[in-house]
Amino acid sequence: MSFSSLLAHSLTRGIGLDDPSTTRLRRTIIRDKVFLRRLYEEWYAGLQESLPDEPQPALEIGSGGGFMEEVIPNLVTSELFLGTPIHLVADGCRLPVADASLRGILAIDVLHHIPEPRLFLSEATRCLAPGGALAMIEPWVTPWSRIIYRNLHHEPFEPEAVKWSFPSTGPLSGANMALPWIIFRRDKDVFESEFPFLQIEKITPCVPFRYLVSGGISMRSLMPSFTFAAWRLLEKLFSSQNHRLGLFAEIVLRRV
């Protein structure tokens, strides 16, 4: 039995990743694990800062397990399937919204699950109003994350992948955790050439430790919730090394 299997959260142990009940249980886990919930609240606040002060709604894709709608007003939540409280069943590559109708598209841990990211980026370009933001929290490639994602995470992690696309095996099981880094860092010139109306405004590597010690959504917590502030302070002290230690990145693209 692997180390990660030993630490698996009791609610999701033995349930297939693509089973809709997994998403429902993850929603419960995120709400009940105080340490993890506080981290998500911090991520939501950061994404909200990227949104322009305009009357159009923002759209969250891959909303199933989270609670972003409780933090960000005028937010439309969406998911690929029913099973959790959402406003819209939608595929990020074929969004049922009008051209230039959104002030933002927000997502946490979604892009690296999209088998055809070019289709999604094209849809984002179409749906965002000028000045709108595509803002995401995504896994990132650093020396530290290479160790963690290759040894302690169940999702594929392939920074050497030549193509952006990958086979679609399921909404959660299909993935390349290195995809955001590939698109916006390794292949930045290609991205800028193909999507000139989406300008990279910010890429900030972050959270080298807190998500790991929280156990995330698939493992048990490794630290009690009262240590959250201490771990946040530790990350602040190491912030100059986030390009080496970050597990995630906050990515903001601006529609021009």
Tens-binned pLDDT, residue by residue, of the chain (256 aa): 444 554 555 555 555 666 767 777 888 899 999 999 999 999 999 999 999 999 999 999 999 889 999 999 999 999 998 878 899 999 999 999 999 999 999 999 999 999 999 999 999 999 999 999 999 999 999 999 999 999 988 899 999 999 999 998 877 778 999 999 999 999 999 999 999 999 999 999 999 999 999 999 888 899 999 999 999 999 999 999 999 999 999 999 999 9
- Count Cβ atoms below 10 Å from residue 246 Cβ, excluding itself: 24
Between CA 27 and CA 33 the distance in angstroms is: 10
Check which CATH number belongs to the domain holding 89 and give it. Answer: 3.40.50.150
Cβ(4)–Cβ(219) below 8 Å? yes
- Count Cβ atoms below 10 Å from residue 32 Cβ, excluding itself: 10
**pLDDT at 7 (0 to 100):** 53
**pLDDT at 14 (0 to 100):** 58
116-to-13, 64, 112, 119, 123 alpha-carbon distances in Å: 29, 20, 10, 6, 11
Q: Could you give the number of structural domains in the chain?
A: 1
**pLDDT at 64 (0 to 100):** 83
106-to-63, 83, 92, 110 alpha-carbon distances in Å: 9, 20, 11, 9
Is residue 42 helix, strand or coil? helix
Domain hosting residue 160, numbered range: 3-255
